[in-house]
Amino acid sequence: MKANLEDIAKAAGVSKMTVSRVLRGGTGFSDDTRDRVRKVAESLGYVPNKLAAAFGADQASTLVGMCVPRLTSGLFGQVLDGVDRALSRLGYQLIIGANNHSTEEEEAWVRQIVSWRPAGLILSGRTHQPGTVDLLRQAGMPVVEIWDLTTSPIDMSVGFSHVDCGAEMGQHLLRRGRRRAGYVGALARADVMGQARLDGFRAALAEAGHPLVASELLLDMPGFYAGLYGLETLLSRTRDLDVVYFHNDEMAIGGLAYAQARGIRVPEDLGIAGWGGMEAASILPRRLTTTVVPTTAIGKAAAEALVARLKGEPGQDVTVVPTRLVPGETG
């Protein structure tokens, strides 16, 4: 039989409420009482019921839901790590879901998680179904939108501008003397944030009088091989490009592999640039031209903003976490 609060109260000679307050880190009792209750709980092998604590009607939920585009994303894995570490330190538990870059799937997930009465939610991106927004506003819980910054959030926003990332890379490559740029992307018609980077990149090039020459938007998931055959397909149609901007670093590394296999010199014959600052890029012979995203910092900032709102502490509705362009040696 598992020991419960009543067993501990009888053994320690105190009330059940006192036991509950001691084990939850409350106040209003002597040090002797606290020490006695904890020793009795340990001797009886008491294990707190976290599920009851999360859903108990007598106290606020300790569950926080977070929905990301893909559970297989390396970048979002780091964001999740930042969120989880911060929430654990602050006494909350994380529930994770994925929407597969679909706002319809996100709405279905939100409807499920809201029925569990979580303390708050963290959502990726700024684009949601109208029903999702209405549901969250009716629920009245803290909501943090992360990754793609919005100045008009549902509640709070933590992140950066993907349009600015693309524009900054376009301007950098133009300063390097590149004039005939191409683009290789993935998750066509699904990843609105990847599309936002392409929009910023395209706008910067056009403004300088050197519009984007060609693009290859794949329906596939981003990855090394997708970058390889994406570049192969792009160059089969347009051979005179002098630089290619990729959806992310994994795809850029795939592009580098294709260039090496075909004897294309980088950056002399073709410049290559990525996005994300992924770990795989750190072991390349030449440093990849890319944009580093502070993934863990975004997760930490989102978790802390949400908990601060729960505690009624003052905070910002919009938090900008800046990215950093790395010039590298491939662009």
- Write down all domains in the chain, each with its CATH number in brackets: 5-48 (1.10.260.40), 63-161+295-323 (3.40.50.2300), 162-292 (3.40.50.2300)
Residue 199 has pLDDT above 60, yes or no: yes
Confidence label for 47 from pLDDT (cuts 50, 70 and 90): confident
For residue 58, is pLDDT > 50? no
Burial 290-303 (b: 16+ CB within 10 A, else e): bbbbbbbebbbbbb
Does position 52 have pLDDT exceeding 70, yes or no? no
Residue among 204, 200, 202, 228 nearest 213 (CA): 202
What average pLDDT does range 50-78 have in this prediction? 77
Helix, strand, coil shares of the chain, percent, nearest 5, are 45, 15, 35
Give residue 133's pLDDT: 95
Lowest-pLDDT range of 22-31, 143-152, 204-213, 240-249: 22-31
Identify the pLDDT of residue 27: 76
Kindly report, residue by residue over 276-323, the tens digit of the pLDDT: 999 999 899 999 999 999 999 999 999 999 999 999 998 899 999 999
Q: How confident is the model at residue 206 (pLDDT cuts 50, 70, 90)?
A: very high
Q: How confident is the model at residue 3 (pLDDT cuts 50, 70, 90)?
A: confident
Contacts of 44 (CB under 8 A, 6+ apart): 3, 7, 8, 11
The stretch 192-210 carries a mean pLDDT of 97
pLDDT of 168 strictly over 90: yes
Q: Bigger pLDDT: 181 or 279?
A: 181
pLDDT, one tens digit per residue, over 105-143 is: 999 999 999 988 899 999 999 999 999 999 999 888 999
The pTM assigned to this predicted structure is: 0.82
**pLDDT for 229 beyond 60:** yes
Q: What 3 state SS string does 214-273 have?
A: EEEECCCCCCHHHHHHHHHHHHHHCCCCCEEEECCHHHHHHHHHHHHHCCCCCCCCCEEE
Q: Is the pLDDT of residue 36 over 60?
A: yes
Residue 298's pLDDT is what?
A: 97
